Structure 1
Amino acid sequence: MHAPIRYKGYEVAPSAQQLPNGLYAANLTIGTQAASQSAPQSGTQSAGTRQTIVSFDALDYFFDERHALAYACRWARMWIDEQRRCA
């Protein structure tokens, strides 16, 4: 697992899991925080803030870990762009 990155207000955490057959599964976790009526104080999370997390396991399989991570990052950008387009 690598450090999460930020993209258009979302936190993206790609990962590559090595499988027993030597392939790497491209996995992805995308999180966002949505504030309800009360805004959080600086540096803290208020009761009015909720976090939404979606996870995708085994988006595809790769022979190289770097390719799996790159694919998960690219897939995250497409997913986020589509969510924002439909909102």
Structure 2
Amino acid sequence: MNRLEWLWVNAPVPFCTVRAHSNIIKIKMQNKQVQQYNGYAVQSSAHRLPDGNFSSNLLLERLDNARAEGRYWFYSLDYFTSEEQALQYSCQWARNWVDTRG
């Protein structure tokens, strides 16, 4: 386990739930989820827009590279009526991106 993985797994997580699924570690904090997928840390997030919808956002970081060139930010991938839908979409979008470009 590298340093970045250790920090995400061992960081204190007050007021959140932690669930482990086979090779995916998921931490849900308010409107963020952090997962590990095929060598990337996947941080999905959603924020509420003035109209009440939610924007799905994403940060991908290569686990083997702590430098900025291993980080990819994606904002407003799509818009949803619920926060959970926005988070799920970001996760699915990240997996597709990693599988096709990673």
Task: Tell me if both proteins adopt one fold, taking TM over 0.5 as the criterion.
Answer: yes
**CA positional deviation for 1:4:** 1.2
Greater relative contact order (Cα < 8 A, sep 6+) = 1
For 1:28, which of 42, 58, 63 is the aligned residue? 58
Q: Rg larger in 1 or in 2?
A: 1
**CA positional deviation for 1:50:** 3.3
User: How many percent of aligned residue pairs carry the same amino acid?
Assistant: 38
Distance 1:12 1:4, change over 3 A: same
- Which residue is 2:48 aligned to? 18
Distance 1:80 1:66 in 2: 21
Distance 2:63 2:36 in 1: 12
Question: Structure 1 residue 77 and structure 2 residue 95: aligned?
Answer: yes
Distance 1:3 1:26 in 2: 11
**CA positional deviation for 1:3:** 3.8
What amino acid does structure 2 have at the position aligned with 1:77? Answer: R
SS of the residue corresponding to residue 4 of structure 1 reads: strand
**CA positional deviation for 1:2:** 2.1
For 1:63, which of 66, 81, 86 is the aligned residue? 81
Structure 2: unaligned runs, 5 residues or longer: 1-30
CA RMSD across the alignment: 1.6
Structure 1: unaligned runs, 5 residues or longer: 36-48
Aligned residues: 71
Greater share of helix residues, 1 or 2? 2
TM-score normalised by L of structure 1:
0.74
TM-score normalised by L of structure 2:
0.64
Structure 1 residue ranges, 4+ long, deviating more than 2 angstroms after superposition? none
SS of the residue corresponding to residue 20 of structure 1 reads: coil
